[in-house]
Amino acid sequence: MGGVPGSLVGDASVAPGRLPVPLTLFLRFHARTVVRLRGELNSGKAPRVRRQLLRAFARAPSVLEVDLGKVTYLAPETRALLLAAAAVAHRSGTRFMITHASARSLRVLGELGMQRLMDAPLLPDP
C-alpha cells in the first residue's frame, strides 16, 4: 500500500493541521485542593506564594482552600495575591475558602473586602 506524500496513513490524505483520529483532552480534575501557607509571608516570599497558587489552579479544583493556620504575618503583596486568587476563583466557578486564619489575618482580609469574593465565611480558627 503506497502512501501519499504528506499523509499519515495509507492513501488517505490529511490536510495540514488535522489528524485522522479525533483527540480528546482530559483535564486533571480534583474536587478539593489545599494550599497550606506558613511563616512570615513578607514581600520576599510573595513569588513563592504566587507559584503555589498557580499550581493549585492548574489542578482545576472545584474547591480551592488556602490554609493560613501557620502564618504569622501577611505582607501587603501576599494579601494582594490572596485577593487576586479569590477573584480568579470567583470568575472561574471555583469555590474559594480561607481556613485556620488568625484573628489578625481575618481582620486585615476583612478590611480588604475578601469576604465578597469567598464562598465561605471568614471565621476565626476554633
Judged against a pLDDT cut of 70, whether residue 33 lies above it is answered with: yes
DSSP state, residue 27: -
DSSP state, residue 4: P
Judged against a pLDDT cut of 50, whether residue 92 lies above it is answered with: yes
pLDDT single digits (tens) 47-66: 999 999 999 999 889 999 99
Question: What radius of gyration, in Å, describes the C-alpha atoms of the chain?
Answer: 22
d(CA 59, CA 93): 14
**What is the pLDDT, as a whole number, of residue 29?**
54
Angle at 111 between CA 50 and CA 62, to 5 degrees: 45
Burial 76-111 (b: 16+ CB within 10 A, else e): ebbbebbbebbebbeeeebebbbebbbeebbebbee
Q: Of how many residues is the chain composed?
A: 126
Q: Whole-model pTM above 0.75?
A: no
Q: Which of 105, 56, 114, 111 is nearest to 83 (CA)?
A: 114
**Could you tell me the pLDDT band of residue 28, with boundaries at 50, 70 and 90?**
very low
SS percent in the chain: helix, strand, coil, step 5: 35, 25, 35
- Residue 62, SS3? strand
